[in-house]
C-alpha cells in the first residue's frame, strides 16, 4: 500500500453543549491515499463534516474538544500546528468545497475578490498576476467568459456556475488534498451530473486526493475509488468501492445499500433500518450499531469491535461480518 | 441604479408632503389663537380680527395649507409669532451650532461605536465583550442631562480642563472677531485660519459632543455587535477561514461589509433626530442650537416656527434616508437588483 497522504488515528472530537459533552467523532483509523477519491458516507450527524473540519482545524476552539490523534498530513501532525502554520495549509495544501454554493460565496463581493486574494496570499504573487491565474482557474472548471464571471456578484450566477467557481477556487493553488463536502447536494439533478463529471475530469489533471463526503450512495458509486462508511462518528467499514457495494461486510452498510430506491423495482415499501442513530452523548458499551443490528448477539453488547481485515484493502468493524 | 434612485426620490417627496400635511393640521387644531398671540395680550377684538385676516387665518384650512406650501417653496417659511422674524432667518441663525454639535457627536459615536461592536462580536462572551456590552447599555440608558452634568462636574469643576458651556469665551469672541461664512465658529475659524478661535471653539465643543455621542454610541455598538454575530456565523465566513484568510481580514472586510447596513440606518436616523432633539444638551451647556429654538416655539405656540423646524427636520430625514438607500445599494449589490 502506498504511503497515505492523510492518516487519522484514534481521533475523538466532542462538543460542549448546554446538556453536556456530545461525542461527534470517534475514529480508530482512516487513511487517504495519494490521488484517490475516497467516498465518506453516512447518515446526517454521523460525523463526516466534523471530520473534515477537524483536519483543517476549523472547529471553534472554545466549543470543540479534539483528543487523541495524530492527524498526519504528509507525515506531519496537523493537530500540533500553530494557527499561523494552519493558515498556510488551508486553501493551499488542503482545500475544501462546501455544500451550498450560494451561501459559500460572500454576497457583497464579486467572486473575483476572494479568488484573486487567495491566489495572491498562497502563491505570493501580485494582485495583477493573481488575477491572471484566477482567470485560468475559472477556465479550468470550464466556465465560459471567465473575465466577466470574475467581476460578477454571486447572485448574478446560477447554482452550477457558483459551484464551479468554488471548485476553481479550491483547485487554484493545486492542493494535495481536497475535501468535497456534499458538493452536489444543493444542486438540481442535471447540474449535479455536470459537477460530478467535472470533478471526474479534473481528478486526472490535478493529481490531488479527494475526500468526497456525501450521504448519497449513488454519487459515491459513480466517483469514488474507495469508500469509508461512518456510523455514529465511527468509521465502521472501509474498502474498494466495488467490494463495499457488492460484498458489504458490516450489517449497517448492507442495510444502507438496501435502502437505495431503484427505478423499475416494484416494492410496497422502501426497506428501513429500524431505530435511530444513537444519541451520541451517551455511547453505550459494545458496538454502537448493536441496538439496531439484525445480526447482533450477546458479544456485540459488550466489546466494541475494531476494524479488521475482510479482504484485500477491505476492513470492517463488526463482530459478525458477512 | 438610476430607476432605483428615482423611485426612492419620489417616495421621499411623498413622505415629505405627508409630513407637512400632518404637522400643519395638528398645529391648527391646537386650542390656541395665533392671531391673539400675534397682537399681544391687550389687543381689542377688532385688532385680533385684523391680525387674523392679515395672517390668513380667516380662510378655510385647506386654503391656508395651499398658501403655506406655495410660500414655502418660494423660500417664505412664515414669520415667527415670538421673534417677529422670518422663520428661515431664525433657522439660519441656530442651525450651524446644531449641525456642529450633531456632526461632531456622531463622528465620535461612529469611530468608537463601530470598532467596539466589531471587537465585541469577534470576542463574544469574553472579557472585552462583557465590558463593551456593559458600557453600551450604560451609554444608552443613562439620562442625557445626568451625563452632561457629571461631565461638567469632572472636567470643569474638578479638573478645570474644559469650559462649562457656551460656544466661545466672551473675551476671545471680542478680541478675535470671526468672519462669518457658514455661521459655525469652528468651521469659519478653520477656513479663515483663526487658530485662537478654532482652539477655543473646539474646547467648548468637547463636552456637549461627548454627551450627545453617548446614546448613539451605545446604539451603534449594540447594532454592530448583533449584526456582526449573525454574519460571522455565515457559511462564507467559514469558507474564508478554510482558505487561509487572516481573522483580521475576515472580520473587518468580509464580515463588516455585510453587517454594516443596519448600523448605517441607525446613524442616519440619529443624525436627523439629534438636529432638533438635543434640547437638554443645549440647555445644560448653554449651546445656541435649534433645540432651544424649537422648545421655545412649542411653549409659545409659535406655529410658523414649529412648522419651520418640523419641515427642516423632515427635509433632513428624507435626504438622509435617501443617502442611506444609496449607501446600502453601494454596499450590497443585491438591493439594486431587487
Does the beta carbon of B24 lie under 8 angstroms from any beta carbon of chain A? no
b/e for B162-173, b at 16 or more Cβ within 10 A?
Answer: bbebebbbeebb
Domain-embedded: residue B273: yes
What is chain A's length?
A: 322
The answer to whether A53 and A63 are in contact (CB under 8 A) is no
Residues of B in contact with A100 (CB under 8 A): 235
Q: Do B243 and A103 touch (CB under 8 A)?
A: no
The pLDDT value recorded for residue A284 is 63
Residue range A262-296, pLDDT digits in tens: 666 666 666 777 766 665 544 567 888 888 888 88
Q: Which has more confidence, A38 or B179?
A: A38
Give the residue-averaged pLDDT of B328-336: 84
Geometric angle at alpha carbon B9, from B6 and B15, rounded to 5°: 145
Over residues B115-126, mean pLDDT: 93
β-strands A71-73, A76-77 pairing: antiparallel
Element at B305 (helix H, strand E): helix B303-331
Q: Does B241 touch chain A (CB under 8 A)?
A: yes
Bigger pLDDT: A102 vs B31: A102
In the prediction, which pLDDT does A19 show? 78
A193-197, A274-278, A316-320, B224-228: least confident range: A274-278
Percent of chain B exceeding pLDDT 70 equals 98
Can you say how many angstroms the Cα of residue A235 is from the centroid of all Cα atoms in its chain?
A: 13
Instruction: Look at residue A75 and tell me whether its pLDDT is greater than 70.
Output: yes
Query: pLDDT tens, B286-300?
Result: 888 898 888 888 888
**B73, HSE (Cβ side, Cα atoms, 13 Å):** 9
Domain membership of residue B19 (yes or no) is: no
Distance between CA atoms of A111 and A172, rounded to whole angstroms?
13
Instruction: Please count the structural domains in chain B.
Output: 1
- Which of B10, B44, B52 minimizes the C-alpha distance to B28? B52
Residue B88 inside a domain? The answer is no
Q: What is the pLDDT of residue A279?
A: 57
d(CA B288, CA B276): 11
pLDDT tens-digit readout, B29-72: 766 677 777 777 777 888 888 887 877 777 888 888 888 888 88
Residue ranges and CATH numbers for the domains of chain A are: 1-88+225-322 (3.40.50.300), 91-219 (3.40.50.300)
Distance from CA of A299 to the nearest CA of B (A): 43
The domain containing residue B146 runs over which residues?
Answer: 95-303
Please report whether residue B51 resides in a domain: no
Inter-chain residue contact A108 with B333, CB threshold 8 Å: yes
- Structure-model confidence comparison of residues A212 and B338, the more confident one: A212
Contact criterion met (CB below 8 Å) for B186 and B205? yes
Considering the domain boundaries, does residue B41 fall inside one? no
Rounded to the nearest angstrom, the gap between the alpha carbon of residue A103 and the centroid of all alpha carbons in its chain is: 18
Compute the distance between CA of residue B282 and CA of residue B212 in angstroms, rounded to an integer.
Answer: 10
DSSP A23-65: EEEEEEEEEE-TT-EEEEE--TTSSHHHHHHHHTT-S-TTTEE
Residue B338 has pLDDT above 70, yes or no: no
Determine, for residues B242 and A56 on separate chains, whether the beta-carbon distance falls below 8 Å: yes
3-state helix, strand and coil shares in percent for chain A, rounded to the nearest 5: 35, 25, 40
CA A272 and chain centroid, separation: 24
Residue B283 is assigned to a structural domain of this protein: yes
CATH number at residue B101: 1.10.3720.10
Q: In this complex, is the C-beta atom of B333 within 8 Å of any C-beta atom belonging to chain A?
A: yes
Residues in chain B: 338
Q: A90 near B244, Cβ under 8 Å?
A: yes
Helix (H, G, I), strand (E, B) or coil at A71: strand
Nearest to A108 among B238, B239, B257 (CB): B257
Instruction: Specify the pLDDT at position A281.
Output: 46
**Digit-coded pLDDT (tens) for A46-65:** 888 899 999 999 888 888 88
* Closest to A236 measured CA to CA, from A144, A310, A143: A310
Helix or strand or coil: residue A165?
Answer: helix
Question: What pLDDT was estimated at residue A283?
Answer: 52
B264 contact partners, CB below 8 Å, separation of at least 6: B324, B327, B328, B331
Nearest-angstrom CA–CA distance, A33 and A177: 10
Closest CA of chain A from B247, distance in Å = 10
Pairing of strands A94-97, A76-77: unpaired
Question: Does residue B211 contact residue B146 with C-beta atoms inside 8 Å?
Answer: no
Least confident interval from A191-200, A279-288, B240-249, B316-325 = A279-288
State the pLDDT confidence band at A152, using cuts at 50, 70 and 90.
very high
Most confident of A17-26, A222-231, B113-122, B276-285: B113-122
Confirm whether B222 is domain-assigned: yes
Looking at residue A312, the DSSP 8-state letter turns out to be T
Q: How confident is the model at residue A2 (pLDDT cuts 50, 70, 90)?
A: low
Is residue B294 in a domain? yes
Q: How does pLDDT run across B253-264, given as a tens digit for each residue? A: 999 999 999 999
Q: From residue A320, how far is each of A257, A286, A290, A299, A301 by CA, in Å?
A: 18, 13, 11, 9, 12
Of B235, B241, B245, the CB nearest to A100: B235
Find, among B144, B182, B118, B167, the residue nearest to B270 by Cα: B144
Asked whether A231 and A257 are in contact (CB, 8 A), the reply is: no
ipTM above 0.95, yes or no: no
* Confidence bin at B302 (pLDDT 50/70/90): confident
CB B81 within 8 A of CB B186: no
B121 touches chain A (CB under 8 A): no
What values do phi and psi take at A108, rounded to 5? -105, 10
Query: Which residues of chain A does B334 touch, with a Cβ-Cβ cutoff of 8 Å?
Result: 107-108, 153, 155
Amino acid at each position: 500500500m502506498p504511503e497515505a497522504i492523510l492518516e487519522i488515528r484514534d481521533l475523538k472530537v466532542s462538543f460542549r453543549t448546554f446538556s453536556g459533552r456530545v461525542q461527534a467523532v470517534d475514529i480508530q483509523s482512516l487513511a487517504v491515499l495519494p490521488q484517490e477519491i475516497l467516498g465518506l458516507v453516512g447518515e446526517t450527524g454521523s460525523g463526516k463534516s466534523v471530520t473534515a473540519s477537524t483536519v483543517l482545524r476549523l472547529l471553534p476552539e472554545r466549543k470543540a474538544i479534539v483528543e487523541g490523534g495524530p492527524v498526519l498530513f504528509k507525515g506531519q501532525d496537523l493537530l500540533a500546528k500553530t494557527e499561523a502554520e494552519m493558515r498556510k495549509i488551508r486553501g493551499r495544501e488542503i482545500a475544501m468545497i462546501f455544500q451550498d454554493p450560494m451561501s459559500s460565496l460572500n454576497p457583497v463581493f464579486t467572486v473575483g475578490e476572494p479568488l484573486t486574494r487567495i491566489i495572491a496570499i498562497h502563491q505570493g504573487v501580485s494582485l495583477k498576476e493573481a488575477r491572471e491565474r484566477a482567470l485560468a482557474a475559472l477556465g479550468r472548471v470550464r466556465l465560459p467568459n471567465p473575465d466577466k464571471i470574475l467581476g460578477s456578484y454571486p447572485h448574478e450566477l446560477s447554482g452550477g456556475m457558483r459551484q464551479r467557481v468554488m471548485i476553481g477556487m479550491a483547485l487554484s493553488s493545486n492542493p494535495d488534498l481536497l475535501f468535497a463536502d456534499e458538493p452536489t447536494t444543493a444542486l438540481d439533478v442535471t447540474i449535479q451530473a455536470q459537477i460530478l463529471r467535472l470533478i471526474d475530469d479534473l481528478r486526472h489533471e490535478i493529481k490531488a486526493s479527494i475526500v468526497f463526503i456525501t450521504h448519497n450512495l449513488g454519487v459515491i458509486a459513480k466517483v469514488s475509488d474507495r469508500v469509508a462508511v461512518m456510523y455514529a462518528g465511527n468509521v465502521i467499514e472501509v474498502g474498494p468501492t466495488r467490494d463495499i457495494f457488492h460484498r458489504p461486510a458490516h450489517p449497517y452498510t448492507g442495510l444502507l445499500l438496501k435502502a437505495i430506491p431503484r427505478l423499475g423495482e416494484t416494492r410496497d415499501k422502501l426497506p428501513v433500518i429500524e431505530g435511530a442513530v444513537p444519541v451520541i452523548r451517551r455511547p453505550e458499551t459494545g458496538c454502537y450499531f448493536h441496538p439496531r443490528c439484525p445480526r447482533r448477539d450477546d458479544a456485540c453488547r459488550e466489546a466494541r469491535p475494531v476494524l479488521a481485515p475482510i479482504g484485500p484493502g477491505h476492513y470492517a468493524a463488526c463482530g459478525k461480518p458477512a | 441604479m438610476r430607476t432605483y434612485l428615482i423611485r426612492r426620490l419620489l417616495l421621499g417627496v411623498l413622505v415629505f408632503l405627508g409630513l407637512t400635511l400632518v404637522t400643519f393640521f395638528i398645529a391648527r387644531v391646537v386650542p390656541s389663537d395665533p392671531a391673539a398671540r400675534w397682537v399681544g395680550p391687550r389687543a381689542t377684538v377688532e385688532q385680533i380680527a385684523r391680525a387674523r385676516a392679515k395672517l390668513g387665518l380667516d380662510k378655510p384650512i385647506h386654503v391656508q395649507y395651499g398658501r403655506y406650501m406655495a410660500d414655502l417653496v418660494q423660500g417664505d417659511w412664515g414669520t415667527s409669532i415670538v421673534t417677529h422674524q422670518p422663520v428661515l432667518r431664525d433657522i439660519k441663525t441656530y442651525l450651524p451650532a446644531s449641525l456642529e454639535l450633531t456632526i461632531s457627536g456622531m463622528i465620535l459615536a461612529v469611530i468608537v461605536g463601530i470598532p467596539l461592536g466589531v471587537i465585541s462580536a469577534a470576542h463574544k462572551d469574553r472579557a472585552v465583550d462583557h465590558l463593551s456590552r456593559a458600557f453600551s447599555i450604560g451609554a444608552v440608558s443613562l439620562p442625557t442631562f445626568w451625563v452632561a452634568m457629571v461631565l461638567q462636574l469632572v472636567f470643569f469643576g474638578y479638573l478645570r480642563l474644559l469650559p462649562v458651556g457656551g460656544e466661545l469665551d466672551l473675551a476671545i469672541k471680542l478680541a478675535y472677531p470671526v468672519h462669518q461664512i457658514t455661521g459655525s465658529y469652528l468651521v469659519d475659524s478653520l477656513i479663515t485660519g483663526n487658530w485662537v478661535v478654532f482652539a477655543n471653539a473646539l474646547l467648548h465643543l468637547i463636552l456637549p459632543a461627548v454627551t450627545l455621542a453617548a446614546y448613539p454610541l451605545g446604539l451603534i455598538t449594540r447594532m454592530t455587535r448583533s449584526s456582526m454575530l449573525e454574519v460571522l456565523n455565515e457559511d462564507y465566513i467559514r469558507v474564508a477561514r478554510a482558505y487561509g484568510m487572516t481573522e483580521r481580514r475576515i472580520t473587518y472586510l468580509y464580515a463588516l461589509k455585510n453587517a454594516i447596513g443596519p448600523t448605517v440606518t441607525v446613524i442616519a436616523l440619529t443624525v436627523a433626530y439629534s438636529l432638533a432633539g438635543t434640547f437638554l444638551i443645549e440647555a445644560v451647556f448653554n449651546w445656541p442650537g435649534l433645540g432651544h429654538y424649537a422648545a421655545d416655539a412649542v411653549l409659545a405656540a409659535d406655529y410658523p416656527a414649529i412648522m419651520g423646524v418640523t419641515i427642516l427636520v423632515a427635509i433632513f430625514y428624507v435626504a438622509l434616508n435617501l443617502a442611506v438607500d444609496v449607501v446600502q445599494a453601494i454596499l450590497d449589490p443585491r438591493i439594486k437588483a431587487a
